[in-house]
Structure 1
Amino acid sequence: MNKNLIINISHPLRAITSYKKLLFKHRNFLIAPFYHAVYDETPDFIKHLYTPRNFDCFKKDIEHFQKYYTLLETKELKDLTSNQTKFKKPPLFLSFDDGLSACLPIAEYMKQKGIPATFFISPQFIDNKSLFHRYKASLLISKIDSESGKNLDEVLKVYKLKNKSYLIQLLRTITYKTRNILDDIAKLLNYDFNDFLANHKPYLSKNEVLKIKNMGFTIGAHSIDHPEYILLNEKKQIEQTIESVNMIMTLFNEKTSLFAFPFSDVGLKQSFFQSLLKYGVDFTFGTSGMKQDSAQNNYQRIPMEKSLSSAKNILHSEHILYAFKKRLNKHKIERL
């Protein structure tokens, strides 16, 4: 369900439902907000995908987390799963996906504030070796928005499209399996993704990731190159997960194996999660909001960039929705 819709629907409920009472009721439930990065001006490679927080908004989010939640370090996750710790305020696990270079100033700010967090990274993108297919699509949409002339006409002719609006629609539908289309369109438009990577460096370098780790933060895996897992067979899902986890642990000397699913873990089978446990993956994280999960050590995170609302409104809405679904016994993801 659309996050803005959830927040709008829950608006009148927030007025009559005590946030503090819900926090107390859910005081032993892991709350896991996540971001990608923070920008005061949204770059083109993100512009057509989601709206990131600016720094002022992010700082207010952090203040809210500190006031109402118990911020967890990675090592405390094991105590949570064994029910060894009882909390006065709900535990909160903060994370960032994709390993974007804008995460470095975020880490520096959080270091000053004493905020623990985990940064989930896809090894293929470290040092700007390649670019996530959805970021390519966003760059091309920005290019097309201002494009006219023979290059655009050639693209429309090749793909048999009436105008650039249809081309933009096509770009929005491209997935990991059809990502080569992006390179083909870029070539026709005389747009070079390698030039973009070299000049703008959207991702962290290995040395920058090490700098973040040395500040005391944890580095986790985010697949090799960010596919939609639902489009992969189970063998490929396992390969993407285990190879990326092993690479991250080796590159950054991590002792706990953490993995955050790119896009979503919706539709993934119980047998897949059982395989991960056999390979020794400690914790995995989805993106379905505040829900329980039948898969062992798999936690659902809360996207913070699908709404411009405050952290309090986003999380208050999540608590309300969870309490409502629990009454209907719809609060838990059951894996097949």
Structure 2
Amino acid sequence: MASLSEIAFRLASRSLRATMRQIPLGVSRAVSARTLPIVIFHAVEEAPKPYIKHLYDYHTPASFEQVLDELLRHFKPLEDLSPEGIANAGADRFLVTFDDGLRSSYEVALPILERKGVPAIHFLITDFLAGEAGSQVEEKFKASLLVECLDGRTPAERAEVARILGGAGYGQADLAEALMSVRLADGAVYDAVAERLGIDLAAYFRQDRPYITREEAADMARRGFRLGAHSCDHPRYWEISLDEQVRQTRDSMRHVTETFGLDYRYFAFPYKNRGITPAFYERTREAVDLFFTTSGWGDRMNRERVFHRVGLDSTGSAVTALKCGWRPFPLSAIQ
């Protein structure tokens, strides 16, 4: 259950977004003329995968193309994706990023980006890259799949799932909410629930293969797209220690840089940079050129090599999302 402070923050954020959407895009671009709008996508699928359906929104190929067309009517794509090019770009340009390295970002989104002439950075979860189909996935993918599999289950089966979750400290009345709230450290709960429901998670994910392979990522780089690191196994950084934050960042960054022979080093925080302290940046300073997170865009936000982004997984208007995500100073302190 969310704390009172979390509820208050959500209400304040919702109110701020509603206010920002009333301001014309031209005003926000003029005020933040030296700030590059950066957007995030995840999945581009004809139909939602069950392991994504309850985790975040997705685009169909048609809606993804529509969003790109809308961006192209108002901005020019940033072509110089070097650290200097990103740092010095203004609000007349835009930058596309993809998080997680999902297979659809390569098979579906990449050809559309190429056809539209839109460069992009793809951030990869390094433990989930495989030379061949693998079964290791983000724990929340398991949660979403299990939520989907609850439909049609008997009351006895649902009671057993509730018992397993309650025994691990997740006793919410709503089973879907309980499954989605399990912390990374308690990931074994998903295996216990799957066993009770008769679901072979490893076999399922081997068959579906959510993530791209190393060969596919290398092909992205050969075709002119940039690659970055997105941690080793996508933890919530605020749930892990500083030492583990540093290890996840440095190890995944080294993996991407060395595997694909990169001369730049870009890292996107999984979820967001909540829980990050100055000590983290000090200990990773020599390992990363630019950091990326998810708090919006606006003047005075992109500082200390940390670049903020706006999520565009929703099939709504890209311009509306950018207006809602704008954070002019001093509101840039409220992310």
Structure 1 residues 80, 160: closer, same or farther in 2, change over 3 A? Answer: closer
Alpha-carbon offset, residue 92 of structure 1 = 1.8
One-letter code aligned to 2:304: Q
Within-5 A mapping of 1:282-321: 282-291=289-298, 292-293=300-301, 296-305=304-313, 307-319=314-326
Q: Work out the percentage of aligned pairs sharing the same amino acid.
A: 23
Coordinate RMSD, CA, aligned: 2.6
Is 220-229 or 172-181 further displaced after alignment?
A: 172-181
- Which ranges in structure 1 are unaligned for 5 or more consecutive residues? none
Is 242-251 or 23-32 further displaced after alignment?
A: 23-32
1:59 matched to 2:79 = no
- The aligned residue for residue 7 of structure 2 is none
- Partner Cα distance (1:212, 1:4) in 2: 37
Alpha-carbon offset, residue 199 of structure 1 = 1.3
Given candidates 96, 106, 109, the residue that maps to 2:98 is 96
Q: Is the 8 A contact 2:150 2:158 kept in 1?
A: yes
- Partner Cα distance (1:158, 1:45) in 2: 20
Given candidates 109, 112, 134, the residue that maps to 2:140 is 134
TM-score, normalised by the number of residues in structure 2: 0.86
Alpha-carbon offset, residue 30 of structure 1 = 1.6
One-letter code aligned to 2:331: K
Structure 1 residues 153, 330: closer, same or farther in 2, change over 3 A? Answer: closer
Alpha-carbon offset, residue 289 of structure 1 = 1.2
- Partner Cα distance (2:153, 2:225) in 1: 42
- Partner Cα distance (1:228, 1:213) in 2: 27
- The aligned residue for residue 181 of structure 2 is 173
Within-5 A mapping of 1:27-42: 27-42=33-48
Alpha-carbon offset, residue 74 of structure 1 = 5.6
Q: Is the 8 A contact 2:164 2:192 kept in 1?
A: no
- The aligned residue for residue 229 of structure 2 is 221
One-letter code aligned to 1:187: E
- The aligned residue for residue 122 of structure 1 is 125
- Which ranges in structure 2 are unaligned for 5 or more consecutive residues? 1-9
Structure 1 residues 214, 195: closer, same or farther in 2, change over 3 A? Answer: same
One-letter code aligned to 1:47: K
1:22 matched to 2:22 = no
Alpha-carbon offset, residue 309 of structure 1 = 2.3
After superposition, the C-alpha distances for 1:55-105 in whole angstroms (9 at most, x for unaligned) are 222112111222322322464431453x4x6x5x53322100111111112
Q: Is the 8 A contact 2:194 2:200 kept in 1?
A: yes
- The aligned residue for residue 154 of structure 2 is 148
